[in-house]
Structure 1
Amino acid sequence: MSVDISRGGLLVMLAIFGVIVYEFRTVLDFVGIELPIIPYMATVFVLAGASVWYVTLKGGWRTEPDGDDPA
């Protein structure tokens, strides 16, 4: 079984997720709940490593788009 994902798609997904979590942290800081940055950064790196491991485990990266066969 192959995971149909490109490296760029995974990196964009992680970047978007990281920004959303960081903004959530900023909102919590605004209302008075302060969270340290180090656990946030560690969590983002762990998530990135786990995502790369999962894609590698499930069959690797998609390197070529599926093309149509000539008629």
Structure 2
Amino acid sequence: MKTKDKPQAKQYVIYSRKSKFTGKGESIENQIELCRQYIAMHFGEDAAENVLVYEDEGFSGGNLERP
């Protein structure tokens, strides 16, 4: 008899990028917070608190050599 596999839990990821510092409101932190709010609204608070966050600040989109 074959058993069904359990569905995998979903993992949400936020990728935030800003190529240069401008001092305006579009900071990495603001981007992440807005994404968390969206995830919380559509997928629940637990999903929003358990996201993986990748921050890519200060690197041009044309440069693939990043940390």
User: What is the TM-score with the length of structure 1 in the denominator?
Assistant: 0.39
More RCO (CA 8 Å, sep 6+): 1
| Bigger CA radius of gyration | 1
Give me the TM-score of the superposition, normalised by structure 2: 0.41
